[in-house]
Structure 1
Amino acid sequence: MKRTVRIRIESRQAGQSHVQETAGELYHKQESYYLRYREPDSESGKTTATVKWDDKQVKVFRHGDVQSDLTFISGTRTAGYYELPQGRMEMECFTHGIERKLDRGLGTLSWSYDLYANGVHAGRIRLRVVIEEEQAE
């Protein structure tokens, strides 16, 4: 069953913080939760993001003007990509840890990772996704 949720995405890199808020859909399928939303950042154009997670990993897919597929597994370096109209960049992520404070998909999902773009270290990133039930007005 899909539920409409409010989403707050907090990212931190090199002492810089960025916060985005949007609405999305949350649903559970087999052993995984899925969170789907339209990217609120205008730099991403018309892009839909899906965050999928289970007990072992977090995956982030983007489709639209931006295409990407990144996988995060605690203590593991994983391959992925990020594609813009200008071209494709191979990415790797070494995930330091994933923290889940969730009840039926609602709550907080956090992870930190080192990002490598075309083999070059691009920085350490910490993401925190807060998922709350949409309140009726």
Structure 2
Amino acid sequence: MQGKSTAKIVVTSRQGEDKTVQELKGEIMVRGSSVYIRYEEPEKGPTGGTTRAMFKITGDEIKIMRHGEVESEQTFQAGRKLPGFYHSPFTKFHLSTDTGKLDVSLDGMSGQIEWEYDLYVYDELSGHFAISMLIEEEV
């Protein structure tokens, strides 16, 4: 299936006892064997600028690319520790994600993605995160 559609996106992030839920409007696109989800992040960057997020889902891998005031890239694949980076107007660092769980359940342009990972900054464990993303195509 090829195409593009608007979507309601609910992202739930857990780190320890902290839980954040974001309800967003975005787009979902299918190109070849990849699904792309993109939206503008609701929080402004460190100096008030905007950041756009793009998720690329291909098979058993998720890549998150953020562009704008904040630039970053993270890749998730179950059982693998993969490199990434984070750049903002005030700081930049290398990071890596060690993904323990990754479940992608998409039916056309709707579905759910769940993953858990350890985040490392300069090879030091920074935290454990559990993320779920619910995508509902708007018809």
Q: Which moved more, 1:40-49 or 1:23-32?
A: 40-49
Equivalent runs, 1:22-37 vs 2, <5 Å: 22-37=24-39
Contact 2:65 2:74 in 1 (8 A): yes
Secondary structure of the equivalent of 2:85? strand
What is the CA–CA distance in structure 1 between the aligned matches of 2:24 and 2:60, rounded to whole Å? 26
- 2:19 matches 1:17: yes
Q: State the TM-score, normalized to the length of structure 1.
A: 0.94
Q: Aligned residue for 1:7? A: 9
Which 4+ runs in 1 deviate beyond 3 A? none
Structure 2 unaligned spans of 5+: none
What is the CA–CA distance in structure 1 between the aligned matches of 2:59 and 2:109, rounded to whole Å? 12
What is the CA–CA distance in structure 2 between the aligned matches of 1:105 and 1:114, rounded to whole Å? 28
Q: CA deviation at 1:43?
A: 4.4
Q: Aligned residue for 1:123? A: 127
Contact 1:20 1:41 in 2 (8 A): no
What is the CA–CA distance in structure 2 between the aligned matches of 1:56 and 1:102, rounded to whole Å? 12
Q: Which moved more, 1:51-60 or 1:37-46?
A: 37-46
Secondary structure of the equivalent of 1:42? coil
Q: Aligned residue for 2:59? A: 55
Match of 2:44 among 21, 42, 45: 42
Q: Aligned residue for 2:83? A: 79
Structure 1 unaligned spans of 5+: none
Tell me which amino acid in the other structure corresponds to 1:12. Answer: R
What is the CA–CA distance in structure 1 between the aligned matches of 2:138 and 2:81, rounded to whole Å? 35
What is the CA–CA distance in structure 2 between the aligned matches of 1:99 and 1:105, rounded to whole Å? 16
Q: State the TM-score, normalized to the length of structure 2.
A: 0.92
Tell me which amino acid in the other structure corresponds to 2:55. Answer: V
Backbone CA RMSD of aligned residues? 1.2
- 2:95 matches 1:91: yes
Equivalent runs, 1:61-72 vs 2, <5 Å: 61-72=65-76
% identical aligned pairs: 35
Q: CA deviation at 1:42?
A: 2.8
Q: Which moved more, 1:41-50 or 1:103-112?
A: 41-50
